[in-house]
Amino acid sequence: MKIVNKDFVINQAGTVTVIPEQPDDLWIVYNLVAVGDVITADTTRKIHLDFLNESAPPTRVNLSISVKVMSRDFQKDDSTVRIQGADLAVILLKEERAEIYLVGKGLTTLCSKVEASGTSKRSRGGRNLIFPDLFSLFVKRLDFATIKSVVIASNGSMKDEFRSFLLSEAKRLKMKNVEDNKSRLVVAECKGGLKEVLNDSGVMNMIKNSRVVLEIRAFRELWEGIESNSGRACYGAKNVEAALEMMAIETLLITDELYRSADVKTRQKYTNMVKSVKKGGGKALVYSSMHVSAEQLAQLTGVAAILRFPLPYLDDMHL
């Protein structure tokens, strides 16, 4: 394998550019890549540059595409490394602006955004003026070969208007990849933000087996346990450690800020906690800082647990 460029320090973030030269090199790449890394590679795409001329042929252009790794797999038979980006894309529409999010294994990433210009904002029906730019971003950023579904969300009719515009343009430009996957373009009502979209039962059902949904459901169960004062949930290092000693933890929820802390003692403490929970037959979920529920978990000290049985007097044990 040829190393073209490297810029990193051991145990710190950095970059390396490599060119695999033989099949065994792909196995090395597979072992080097970790979840959360960003992989950049050159490729080509056919793009219609002239939206006004239906007869204009597509132009093949060179693109540099970056994918934040949600998972990776190695195919031994043909020495292929498969990098998975996202389970779901969410296009969140608001008046005069739109955001595209990628949702995958424990990560939620703002991929692109578009906003109407000052002139557009003052125009009647100005919100629809972002549709052509948003369509271009859709073509460049989203690929049904790597994304299971695309959710278009807004409050009111804007979501339906953009879906119609998207399919109309795809038909006009003979974009079979979009036309053949129109059933995977769904709409959802959203008055708030991304969190509301991902908590929608229909959206969650689309990616029901994905890690991000399991984590959202786990946090919801934790929060309901805390609010109901059922004794089946706890948070804070002391309470969680006490529950662990009693083999009471069914699911541990922890932020990656604690689990991968730069402080060695802190990192060892929570690494051992995760190992102990798993050894006792429980589950451990590490929430990336990019996860939609990470901020709420951080507000609960960053570590919490769903319990196998009630421990209603857990707080009193530390008085």
Spell 244-280 as b/e; 16+ CB within 10 A means b.
beeebbbbbbbbbbbbbbeeeeeeebbeebbebbeee
Give the CATH number for residue 120: 3.30.420.60
Q: Using the 3D structure, point to which of 21, 56, 84 is the last residue of a domain.
A: 84
Sheet holding 97-103, edge to edge: 108-115, 97-103, 88-94, 149-154, 185-189
User: Are residues 51 and 107 located together in one domain of the fold?
Assistant: no
Is the pLDDT reported for residue 127 higher than 70? no
* 242 and 310 assigned to the same domain: yes
Q: What pLDDT score does 146 carry? A: 73
Specify whether 187 is located in the same domain as 242.
Answer: no
Asked whether residue 117 falls in the same domain as residue 76, the answer is: no
Q: At 194, phi and psi to the nearest 5?
A: -60, -35
Of the candidate ranges 130-134, 137-141, 153-157, the one whose mean pLDDT is the lowest: 137-141
Domain at 11, CATH number: 2.30.30
Whether 78 and 40 share a structural domain? yes
> Token digits for 94?
């608001």
**Amino acid sitting at position 81:** V
The verdict on 235 and 187 lying in the same domain is: no
pLDDT in tens, 285-302: 988 777 778 889 999 999
Q: Is the pLDDT of residue 154 over 70?
A: yes
Q: Does residue 103 share a domain with residue 201?
A: yes
The yes-or-no verdict on residue 58 having pLDDT over 90 is no
Q: Give 76-92 pLDDT, tens digit per residue.
A: 666 677 666 677 899 99
pLDDT digits 0-9 by tens, 16-39: 888 888 877 888 887 778 766 778
- 204 pLDDT exceeds 50? yes
Q: pLDDT band at 242, cuts 50/70/90?
A: very high
Question: Please, what is the average pLDDT of the chain?
Answer: 83
pLDDT at 124 over 70: no
So what's the pLDDT on residue 121? Answer: 46
The mean pLDDT of 295-315, rounded to a whole number, is: 92
pTM of the model: 0.61
Residues 254, 231 within the same domain:
yes
Query: CA torsion, points 73, 184, 194, 94, in degrees to nearest 10?
Result: 140
95 against 64, higher pLDDT: 95
Same domain membership, residue 200 and residue 96: yes
The DSSP 8-state label assigned to residue 57 in this structure reads P
Domains: count for the chain: 3
More confident residue, 49 or 35: 35
Q: Does residue 240 share a domain with residue 149?
A: no
63, 84, 105 — which closes off a domain? 84
* Residue 9 pLDDT level (bands cut at 50, 70, 90): confident
Mean pLDDT, range 95-116, rounded to an integer: 81
Q: Which of 17-21, 208-212, 268-272 has the highest mean pLDDT?
A: 268-272
The answer to whether residues 15 and 108 belong to one domain is no
Domain residue limits at 281 = 211-318
Domain termination residue (choose one: 190, 206, 222): 206
- Look-up of token digits 């994918």: 67
Looking at the structure, tell me whether residues 226 and 312 fall in a common domain: yes
Radius of gyration over alpha carbons of the chain, in Å? 23
Q: What is the pLDDT of residue 19?
A: 86
For residue 240, which amino acid is it?
V
CATH number of the domain to which 279 belongs: 3.30.1330.30
- pLDDT, mean of residues 166-185: 91
- pLDDT of 119 higher than 50: no
* Range scoring the smallest mean pLDDT among 120-124, 260-264, 304-308: 120-124
Q: What is the pLDDT of residue 63?
A: 66
Whole-number Å distance between alpha carbons of 219 and 235: 12
Distance CA 100, CA 85 (A): 14
Q: What's the pLDDT at 122?
A: 40
Q: Give the integer Cα–Cα distance in Å for 312 and 319.
A: 14
Give the integer Cα–Cα distance in Å for 184 and 92. 16
- The confidence band for 123, taking pLDDT boundaries of 50, 70 and 90, is very low
Higher per-residue pLDDT: 126 or 55: 55
